[in-house]
Amino acid sequence: MTDFTMSVDADGVATIVWDVKTKSMNVLSLEGWGDLDALIDQALADATIKGVIITSGKPDSFAGGMDLNVIARMKAEAGDTPAKGLMDGLMRCHTILRKIERAGMDPKTLKGGKPIVAALPGTALGIGLEIPLACHRIFAADTPKAKIGLPEIMVGIFPGMGGTTRLVRKLGAMAAAPFLLEGKLSDPKGAKMGGLIDEVVPAADLLARATGIL
């Protein structure tokens, strides 16, 4: 059983669905990172695929964050060099998100590649926002109870998967500060007004809208 699965429609749009069957809300594990990495590689290598949507199999949420046991496992599996194990593990995760961000672009001209968009059915927290921030456009369902943001600071850590850099790049340092330093959370319309996401659409139209720009 894998946490991420992919299907491709007749028009060449690949949809990667994140669905951790054993949990009510998706959390990212080391195995999940591997699943996502393999599917991104597959989508970028397949000439018949013209674009990718990353979404959730949960009807009212995208993800609640990362399984904090990931950090402990990275350290434990490194044996006598836990700090190196943690750094190496984090850099592997950064490589996956950078792969999504570049999406096969020419490294010199930054042209070409395939569009990758995120479609959020609802709540997207922590890594659940950092993955979308690596995508080229973020759509969210108009679900008023959903919360979107980077709450890591509330447990004494910073967003460690590029969220700090990508959010500052997207919003500017001053506008990004409340989300990074206070853990401010927003509903989808507030997230759109704050610049965290690009578009809010009716829940029933979420995937159709995401597909329509690919």
Residues with catalytic annotation?
130, 152
φ/ψ (deg, to 5) at 180 = -90, -40
* CA 206/CA 123 separation, integer angstroms: 14
Measured between alpha carbons, how far is 23 from 73 in angstroms, rounded to an integer? 20
Say if residues 80 and 144 touch (Cβ distance below 8 Å).
no
Distance CA 162, CA 88 (A): 15
Following DSSP, what letter does each residue of 45-96 receive, concatenated?
Answer: H-TT--EEEEEESSTTEEE-EE-THHHHHHHHTTTT-HHHHHHHHHHHHHHH
Please identify which residue in the block is written with the tokens 């672009």.
Answer: 105
Question: Distance (Å, rounded) from C-alpha 130 to C-alpha 74?
Answer: 20
Q: For residue 46, is it left (φ>0), alpha (ψ between -120 and 50) or beta?
A: beta
Which amino acid, 3? D
CA distance 14 to 10: 10
